[in-house]
Structure 1
Amino acid sequence: MDKPAFILNPPFSLSTEVANNIWMEELPPDLRQCDTDRAVTQFLALYRHLAAESLVFLLPTPYPDGLQDLVYTANLGIVLEHLPDRNTVVVSNFASPPRRGETEVGVRFFESMGYRTVVPDTKFEGEAELKHLHDNVYVGGYGQRSQCETYDWLESAYDMVVVKLAETDPYLYHLDCTVFPITAEQTLVCTSKFEHDELRMLEKHTEVIDVSLDSAYNGLCNSVRLNNVILNSSHIHDLRSGSDEYQDELRKNRELEDIATKLGFEVVLVNLSEYHKSGAMLSCMVMHLNRNSYQFSLL
Structure 2
Amino acid sequence: MAAPTLIAALEHNVKRILMCRPTHFQLAYSINPWMDMQKGVNRKKAMEQWENLKSTLESSGAKVHIMEAQGAESLPDMVFAANAAVIKGTKAYLANFAHPERKGERYFFEEWFTNNGYQCVGDLDIHFEGAGDALWGGDQNKTLFVGVGTRTEFRALSDITTKLDDGTNWKVIACRLIDPRFYHIDTAFCPLNEQVAIYYPYAFDHVTQHNMRNETDLIPVSSKEARNFACNAVVVGQNVIMHEGNDEIANKLAKLGFNVRFVNMSEFIKSGGSAKCCTLAI
Does TM, scored on the shorter chain, surpass 0.5? Answer: yes
Query: How far did 1:64 drift?
Result: 5.0
Distance in structure 2 (CA, Å) of the matches to 1:278 and 1:208:
27
The alignment partner of 1:281 has SS state of: coil
The within-5 A match list for 1:25-36 is 27-29=36-38, 31=39, 33-36=40-43
Decide which of 153, 159, 163 is 2:159's aligned counterpart. 153
Question: Could you tell me whether the CA contact under 8 Å between 1:3 and 1:55 is conserved in 2?
Answer: yes
The alignment partner of 1:21 has SS state of: coil
Query: How far did 1:74 drift?
Result: 0.5
The within-5 A match list for 1:243-254 is 249=245, 253-254=246-247
Aligned to 1:272: 265
1:128-182 Cα offsets, whole Å, 9 max, x none, are 1001013431111011101011012222444441121111211110101111101
Query: How far did 1:196 drift?
Result: 2.8
Aligned to 2:132: 128
Distance in structure 1 (CA, Å) of the matches to 2:267 and 2:221:
25
- Over 3 Å counting, the alpha-carbon distance change for 1:63 and 1:193 in structure 2 is closer
Aligned to 1:10: 21
The within-5 A match list for 1:86-105 is 86-105=89-108
Query: How far did 1:190 drift?
Result: 1.4
Decide which of 105, 110, 120 is 1:107's aligned counterpart. 110
Q: Aligned pairs, how many?
A: 263
Percentage of identical aligned residues:
25
Distance in structure 2 (CA, Å) of the matches to 1:40 and 1:172:
25
Letter in 2 for 1:5: R
Decide which of 54, 59, 68 is 1:60's aligned counterpart. 68
Distance in structure 2 (CA, Å) of the matches to 1:72 and 1:207:
28
Decide which of 45, 66, 70 is 2:78's aligned counterpart. 70
The alignment partner of 1:162 has SS state of: strand
Letter in 1 for 2:195: E
TM-score, length basis structure 1: 0.84
Distance in structure 2 (CA, Å) of the matches to 1:161 and 1:200:
17
Decide which of 170, 173, 186 is 1:176's aligned counterpart. 186
Query: How far did 1:28 drift?
Result: 4.7
User: Runs in 1 of length 4+ with deviation above 4 angstroms?
Assistant: none
Decide which of 134, 141, 144 is 1:138's aligned counterpart. 144
Decide which of 53, 58, 69 is 1:51's aligned counterpart. 58
Distance in structure 1 (CA, Å) of the matches to 2:258 and 2:198:
14
Distance in structure 2 (CA, Å) of the matches to 1:36 and 1:4:
28
Decide which of 168, 171, 186 is 2:196's aligned counterpart. 186
Query: How far did 1:107 drift?
Result: 0.7
TM-score, length basis structure 2: 0.89
Instruction: Report the RMSD for the aligned CA atoms in angstroms.
Output: 1.5
- Over 3 Å counting, the alpha-carbon distance change for 1:195 and 1:167 in structure 2 is closer
Letter in 1 for 2:161: E
Distance in structure 2 (CA, Å) of the matches to 1:14 and 1:194:
30
1:24-52 Cα offsets, whole Å, 9 max, x none, are 1xx352x2x22221111111111111122
Distance in structure 2 (CA, Å) of the matches to 1:230 and 1:127:
17
The alignment partner of 2:156 has SS state of: helix
Distance in structure 2 (CA, Å) of the matches to 1:42 and 1:223:
15
The alignment partner of 1:17 has SS state of: coil
Question: Could you tell me whether the CA contact under 8 Å between 2:28 and 2:37 is conserved in 1?
Answer: no
Query: How far did 1:63 drift?
Result: 2.0
